[in-house]
Amino acid sequence: MNLSRLNWDSDFFGLNIGKLVLSDEDDFLMSDISGLVDYDLVYIFANHGRNMPVIGANLVDCKVICKKSISCNVEANSNVVAFSESKPSPDLYELALQSGEYSRFRLDNKLPAGSYEKLYRRWIEQSVCKVMADEVLCYYYNGKIAGMVTVAVKDNVGSIGLVAVDSSCRGLGIGSALLESVDSYLFGKGVRVVEVATQLDNAKACSWYEKNGYVVDTMTDIYHWWRK
């Protein structure tokens, strides 16, 4: 059993938050919550499908990591441009919030009011200023940013963070154009693997990634345990 305090989360949400990672070999008894009671909230990560032995823990997400090999260069869509401003535009803020529709931070109503909005606004701000992303690619349509994706590279693997198409512009191929632009961006940097996280409950996203050549790599169940 690996239980640790998450300092950033604790400071950001104003709560004492811990993280518990369970392996299939862990024998963590339902009655053994002595280590958890020091926290207001504990995120519990377990391999998908195992029985959750922690009493009072609620399943809030099944995190799906999808991966894709980039085998050839794809020409980036001419409507996709890297965002160059130092602060997000109103369009980007709105898209960041839309990207988290299935986020556990939106679905868990025990979190302080406004937590999800605060978190995703910070995420796009940190992406634009190149802290949480290397680039923010935007699809412009009718004079506005209709879609965006953030991408970073670590250990020669590309990672998509936020991705969203405005609700009024879906079904126009904008999302696939953004993914193709990610491939083009990464290929130009010599990166040949890209990954993205989504939620199992987000069936449309899972199907969309599969359509665009991604395959499921890992699945992790995430629970929230709250001290009563």
From CA 19, how far away is CA 168, in angstroms rounded?
Answer: 37
pLDDT tens-place string over residues 192-212 = 999 999 999 999 999 999 999
Taking a C-beta distance cutoff of 8 angstroms, is the pair 64, 219 a contact?
yes
| pLDDT tens by residue, 92-140 | 999 999 999 999 999 999 999 999 999 999 999 999 999 999 999 999 9
> Residue range 16-40: average pLDDT?
75
CA distances (Å), origin 61, targets 68, 98, 148, 151: 22, 17, 23, 22
- Per-residue confidence (pLDDT) for residue 146, from 0 to 100: 97
Q: What angle do CA 151, 152, 153 make, to 5 degrees?
A: 135
- With a CB cutoff of 8 Å and minimum separation 6, the contacts of 78 are none
The per-residue DSSP string of 56-90 comes to TEEEEEEEEEEEEE--S--PPPTTEEE---SS--H
The residue extents of the domains of the chain are: 2-63, 72-191
Q: What is the mean pLDDT of the chain?
A: 92
Of 3.40.630.30, 3.30.70.260, 3.40.50.1100, 3.40.190.80, the CATH number of 72-191 is 3.40.630.30
